[in-house]
A and B are shown apart, each in its own frame.
Chain A
Amino acid sequence: KNQVEQSPQSLIILEGKNCTLQCNYTVSPFSNLRWYKQDTGRGPVSLTIMTFSENTKSNGRYTATLDADTKQSSLHITASQLSDSASYICVVGLNTGGFKTIFGAGTRLFVKA
């Protein structure tokens, strides 16, 4: 069964600290993996996209890693800011010739002053 599991479910950190969010997937055939940020009441916004051959991708203070062998990805946030408080969603795309994607349930991050 194609699944994307994220951990932790929620996380509270102090402003300025770093954190790492995890994503494990059992999706086949794998095409790509994306991390999205979703602010409360808004649609998700893409942070990074990685294909099978990429094992790291950065976007400012966000760095995503991908291990296609172990089917794991992580999103590392450096020097967190209050505006980083949001849900972070891991999404895996299937290589089925279409646009089928499997969404994780997300990690809810709270950054406190």
Chain B
Amino acid sequence: GAGVSQSPSNKVTEKGKDVELRCDPISGHTALYWYRQRLGQGLEFLIYFQGNSAPDKSGLPSDRFSAERTGESVSTLTIQRTQQEDSAVYLCASSSRSLAASYEQYFGPGTRLTVT
């Protein structure tokens, strides 16, 4: 079956512009996560969704970052007024509801964002 997909795969934007990153989780997965990974560094948790609600937004670095999820499916991460420090790979993952598999996060290939 299809895995987690993300679009675009690469995005170059000018400082100050807004960007939208999209994540399509595995069908039926109720949990969805966004992470940021700066070059050569580990993953940094941003936000997770359970269904369409976001119980944990603690990782969002500033109010320029927001995310939404609709239909318990697609999620969009929006970065407003991008800054150069926003340059990173943004990874999305999803997880199913079942007891055993709920511990497993399946990752997409990521969106590489470059802010010039």
Residues of A within 8 A of B (CB): 31-32, 34, 41-46, 49, 51, 89, 93, 98-106
Contacts and interface: CB of A to CB of B under 8 A. Distances in A.
Give chain B's interface residue range (CB within 8 Å of chain A): 20 to 34
Contacts of B48: 98-100
A31 B42 contact: no
Interface string B4-31: 1000000000000000000000000001
B79 interface: no
A38 B27 CA distance: 23
Nearest to A32: B103
Q: By DSSP majority rule, is chain A's interface helix, strand, loop, or mixed?
A: strand
Given A43-B4, A43-B107, A49-B103, A101 B45 contact: yes
B54 to A, nearest CB: 11
A89 B55 CA distance: 25
A50 to B, nearest CB: 9
B31 A99 contact: yes
A93 to B, nearest CB: 6
A-B complex: 10 closest residue pairs judged by Cβ atoms = A43-B107, A105-B42, A103-B43, A32-B103, A44-B107, A99-B31, A49-B103, A43-B109, A106-B42, A103-B42
B109 A42 contact: yes
A51 B35 CA distance: 23
Given A99-B105, A102-B45, 14 more contacts: A32-B103, A41-B109, A43-B4, A43-B108, A43-B109, A44-B107, A46-B106, A49-B104, A98-B48, A98-B50, A99-B50, A100-B48, A100-B56, A101-B105
